[in-house]
Chain A
């Protein structure tokens, strides 16, 4: 039992390290458009991202954590507590190692894909290929392809709408004001809806889909029109353009991204940790175990610390590298990425925030929104995506064997 407790401690450390990595690596992708478009400063980005990642992780994160843990790998492998413990531990260690290696080598890998790969490796070692739920795995892999495309489409449509309904108009500023409640409203609608559907809070109220939609609609309208009032108040005296209005709205959407990221990505670090935690605490792990909120909070804090410690350096490069990003574009990218990630989280699919953001940029690029964006990156991402899963899986297998030998 002593060794199990030390494993728990090491598990905490690794889980923390993993979430730290998520913060350090992925925050740049989620906050980049806001910082690049000068909607918020680096300091504000770090602050907003930190706080909202914690909130998102703690209150929106539980659903995804379950899926990663038992969706792809059958619960059969968890029947032997000893094996399950080693497995969860090696998955976490393998994913951490792989992410560290990628960070060191500057590979664009997704922390999400690393942990899924590592889980698969453990599953194969513990119970052979039969324990892998291939259908579920295919769905997950499909979601990795679909999520950037989905984000691409949303960003494309959103930017086109902005061009058509606002920018190309004679009195663009007036139109921007007029339509701003809708933009704010749609954003709020998705956020409220995901709060209602996914959080323990929403579940406690036992709200059915219909009334949830109604509540979200009402909330969105209220927030939308309050936003308009605020915008009019803030921009009353200045003679500014459409971008200035969207700059304010983008502050909102970047919060939305941070929230979605926290909700989605915390599972990567906390999923295996939750298994370790339950095995140590209860001696076994059932088919369905709720992830305690303090673990999610722990993961959220890990992400926030990663953002705080490494975010500054990364954000610094954004300001100098991305000079052609304006607020209307930033808004479209943010909105698309966050919506994609929140919907994916809702469906329990572990998608990568990074890839959703890249898909968003792609969408605005196709809509002719950027002076120059290079999509060779997309192919590189795909290459590393193909590499990440087997690499993490093999690492996880090796560690599993070693641990099995030692423990």
Chain B
């Protein structure tokens, strides 16, 4: 505190944001493995992956709270603090949705995913992983933008946001295919409900990634 100049510089939220985005990515990978295991019916490791997801989620939660805790009231950032928190919340909600999916599966894990839907669920899964993988790239490119304020760099970030939006749209399409198939193929109403809700919950993951992208767009607005 003796040297006011030094005391002014506090921890940058970007380190935490990057770390959080990486955690989200790791977590979705573990999630992907859990679902794949569930679908292919070799369910012995499902719980193991689920635990891993829960573990990663709680780690991400620690990072989230650390970011918030290190931004006292009078901290000045390149963007609105409110926007940053909104962004972080959306990035974190990706994980909440991931957990929701696994919880939903665990409520009725026994019959598993009907054979006819397996391929479509795999496609849906891939389509929601893609935007998540863009998140950490987006954060690191945005950080570069806030450093050099170059129009070129801003364009790079905007392009990633556009990609995420497109990927979310693809995920929506994959979700629609699954849902319509569920209604047309499955006869058991309970399974229909379980499958439709499952597809929707998986879809939310990509929605939150898109929302995060939208928040980033607001953050880099001139």
Contact = CB atoms under 8 A, between A and B. Distances in A.
Interface string B8-41: 1111111000000000000000000000000000
Interface residues of B, number: 32
B2 A106 contact: yes
Interface stretch (B42-50, B118-126, B148-156, B201-209): B148-156
B6 A317 contact: yes
B183 interface: no
A28 to B, nearest CB: 5
A368 B79 contact: yes
Given A163-B149, A167-B150, A371-B12, A32 B74 contact: no
B152 A170 contact: yes
B76 A370 contact: yes
Interface residues of A, number: 51
A108 B6 contact: no
Interface in B88-110: none
A373 B3 contact: no
Interface stretch (A7-15, A193-201, A358-366): A358-366
A376 interface: yes
Nearest to B4: A108
Contacts of A29: 3-5
Contacts of A369: 78
Contacts of A167: 148-150
Given A167-B150, A170-B151, A375 B3 contact: no
A209 interface: no
Contact of B12 (A32, A314, A372, A381): A372
Contacts of A357: 5
Contact of B2 (A25, A32, A172, A355): A25
Given A163-B149, A172-B150, A371 B14 contact: yes
B65 interface: no
A84 interface: no
Contacts of B152: 170
B76 A372 contact: yes
B74 A372 contact: no
Contact of B77 (A163, A242, A323, A371): A371
Given A370-B9, A371-B146, 6 more contacts: A172-B150, A370-B77, A370-B78, A374-B7, A377-B1, A377-B4
19 contacts: A32-B5, A106-B1, A107-B1, A170-B152, A321-B9, A354-B4, A358-B5, A361-B8, A366-B76, A368-B78, A372-B75, A372-B76, A372-B77, A373-B8, A374-B8, A374-B72, A376-B72, A377-B1, A377-B4
